[in-house]
Structure formats: C-alpha cells, structure tokens
Structure 1
C-alpha cells in the first residue's frame, strides 16, 4: 500500500462519512484506475485537461434549458427587467474574470493546487459544497496573493 492509495482511501472514507456521492464516485474511479493500471495512461491527461472538460460539462448543463426552449429571448428580456438579473449578470462576469486568474495561478504555481484540492475536498465532503472550487479558489487565492504582495 503506497501513499497515493492511502490518501485516496482516506478521501473515500471522508466521502462515505459525509455521505458525499461525488467524492466517493471520483475517488472510487481513481482507485479502480490505479488498480487496473490505467493511471499511467489516463491521469496526466485528466490532470491537464480535466478542468476544461468540467467547465465544458457545466456550461452544457447551464445552456441545456436554452436548447430545450425552456429559456428563450422572452425570458431573457423579462429577467433583465429585474435588479436581481443585473446582480446575477455582474456576478457571472466577476466570477469568470476571477477564474481566469485562477488558471494563471494553477499554471504558474502548481504546488498551490495541493492546498486548493484539500480545501475543495473539505468543503465538498464535510460542508456539502460543490466541487467547482479549485478554479474559483485559485482565482480568489491569486487576488489575495496580489493584495498581500501589495502590502508587503
């Protein structure tokens, strides 16, 4: 039993205790891939492209109501008549800009990924968070680091 497998088993236990199916599924899949020997071939690809795949899947889920006709131009224009829609619009833009800096941070400081992943796992497994955190977390960390550097 090596360190990565022990770490994965610990995460699986945390997911089980917290009854978090996303963590249990993700960790279980990684364990199976390691056991059957796919880790050498698959992990580097998932690590390098997985965030982009995840963002694409989330984007598809968000756009699906447009594709089904559930949301159309009428709903869009009706929504933009409310202050909450303008708040949501500004928030979406702000988060996308934060995430852009997160990608920069993850590319330039990969060791930061460890802390971000741990924070995401804790939030998902213990506080019922959603695992979109690493990219946004990296963006927030990037902003906080820039503020910290400014005051040093």
Structure 2
C-alpha cells in the first residue's frame, strides 16, 4: 500500500467519524479510480474538478430565479438595503479570497491535507458545514500572507 492510498483511507475514516458523507463519498471515488488504475480520470478530476463543482454550486444558487423563489423585487431590494449591500460586499470579499485560495492550492498542493483536517475538525467540534476547499484555501492564503508579512 503506497502513502497516497493510506492517506485516502485515513481521510475516509476521519470523514466517517466527522459524519461528513460528501467527504467520504469523494474520497472513496478517488480511491476507487486510483485502485482501478484509471489515472486519466484522476488527472481530469485534478484539472477540472473545481470548475465542475463551481458550476454545480452556481446552478444551485441560480435555480431560485427560475423557480420564482427569488424575483426582480428581491434583487432590487438587495441594492437598496443595508443587509443587501453587506451581502454584496461579502460576495466581493469571498470571491477575492477564493481566487487566492485557488492560487495557493495550485502552488502548494500539500496544504490541502491541513485544510481537509481543519474542515473535518470544524464539522465535528463546531457543527460546521463543509462548503469545500476554496473558502478554506482563501482564508489560509490570507492567514499565510499575514504570517509571512510579520516574518519578513
């Protein structure tokens, strides 16, 4: 058993203990692809998985427009209310952090392990909701920037 397989098994175990079915299912899928020797799929997932996930998340966020749960009046209200303006600012800040998170994940892929463990600890001990590595990456990139600033 190589180190990668062992790490995936550990992530599965932690995911089970953390009651995080998405983490378990994703890790099992990657492990199965690896064990079956379907490395082309692994490379595809590595290159395109984030975009596919973002596409699905965007579909979920836009669906209320199509179903009528969010209407034009709601959109206008966003631009004229304090909570709406704060939400817009939050979106701007989050997307900027996520941009830096993706750059961090590409530049230092080993950091993913810490983010996975941190996400699982957040689920277990703080009742957190796993929304994916992008926000964790963005916050990690911000914290590392602050850390490196004070080191220099």
Tell me how many residue pairs correspond in the alignment. Answer: 151
Greater displacement, 9-18 / 53-62: 9-18
1:59 aligns with 2:35: no
TM-score normalised by the chain length of structure 1: 0.82
1:97 aligns with 2:96: yes
Greater displacement, 15-24 / 90-99: 15-24
Match of 2:105 in 1: 106
Structure 2, unaligned runs of 5 or more: none
Q: Tell me if structure 1 keeps the 8 A contact 2:20–2:120.
A: no
Q: CA RMSD in A?
A: 2.3
Structure 1, unaligned runs of 5 or more: none
Please state whether the residue corresponding to 1:70 is helix, strand or coil: coil
Q: Tell me if structure 2 keeps the 8 A contact 1:15–1:125.
A: no
Q: Tell me if structure 1 keeps the 8 A contact 2:18–2:120.
A: no
TM-score normalised by the chain length of structure 2: 0.82
Match of 1:47 in 2: 46
Q: Tell me if structure 1 keeps the 8 A contact 2:77–2:84.
A: no
Structure 1 distance, partners of 2:29, 2:2, is: 17
Residue 133 (structure 1) shift: 4.1
Residue 131 (structure 1) shift: 3.4
